[in-house]
Amino acid sequence: MNNSKKDISILIISGQGINCDQEMFHAYKLLGVNHIDVIHINTILNNPTIIHNYDLINFPGGFSFGDNLSSGKVLANLIKYKKVNGKKYSLLDQIKIFIENAGYILGVCNGFQILVHLNLLTNTNSKLEFEVTLKENKTNKFENRWCKFIINKQNKTPFFRGIDFIELPIRCGEGRVVIRDLLIREEILSKNLHILQYIDQENNLTDNCELNPCGSDLYLAALTDLSGQILGMMPHPEAYLTIYNHPNWPTKKTQQTQSIIGLNIFQNIVQHISEVKYDKHIKFN
């Protein structure tokens, strides 16, 4: 495992109001990953093929372009439409190739909003059409609080392998997932594209605004694409890298069972990519 970690290449996008890039960097550093690059989005927009040097692309949280239109919309449009001089492709064109080549993408909070505006989530028909969006929280204000979530075990993404429940903080003004229509709602459920849902302390799905302040359709806090390679989530795993980040850490510290923390999500994807790359290496040889 330790040797294979050295072979993983991770890209973390920064700049233009993204402000959780260093927390994400620290998460992967804690796991012993050696090749982690934090690169300004303008550099990537001007050289989109650079993403093919990596196994995992991270869109961290923050306030890209000040959320001046809607959260993540401006940056998503640049990713969709900006073409490099003399080239006919955009960053989104390269992202599609990246996914076809078995790359993984994680978008957190503002990163989730960007992935949604790119129509990479949920993309149930593989045509990159508008199916879901993110709107203002039901509470009509910015929310910064810890919530509890249940994981859909039928979802195929490796990010939440071995996790049943998790507590994480949300920090957003536009975290309410709105599904386009009943057909897409049924597609999400039947294809198990929902991965995180808000629950109460008895582990029941809840729309109580104290426990689910965003008020999302289907109690949603995270979605994946059909492949499970793209994960968008509203809560911040990079804000829970140790039990001491939790507001009730003294209790967590004295619990007999090991607490599931945000670092476990990063650990899962690093482990998965390590295993996949190792298998490919063995087969190649």
pLDDT score recorded for residue 284? 36
pLDDT band at 71 (very low <50, low <70, confident <90, very high): confident
**Alpha carbons 95 and 89: distance in angstroms, whole number:** 10
Mean pLDDT of 92-102: 97
pLDDT in tens, 1-58: 455 666 899 999 999 999 999 999 999 999 999 999 999 999 999 999 999 999 999 9
Domain count for the chain, please give it: 1
DSSP reduced 3-state for 67: helix
The CATH number that applies at residue 116 is 3.40.50.880
Whether the per-residue pLDDT at 285 is higher than 70: the answer is: no
Contacts for 265 with CB less than 8 Å, ≥ 6 apart: 159, 160, 163, 166, 237
Place of tokens 């993984």: 104
**Alpha carbons 207 and 10: distance in angstroms, whole number:** 36
**Alpha carbons 25 and 217: distance in angstroms, whole number:** 31
Share of the chain above pLDDT 70, in %: 94
Task: Quote the tokens at residue 126.
Answer: 């593989």
Place of tokens 């195929």: 156
Backbone angles phi, psi at 62, to 5 degrees: 145, -150
Range of the domain at 238: 2-284
Mean pLDDT of 141-169: 96
pLDDT averaged over every residue in the chain = 92
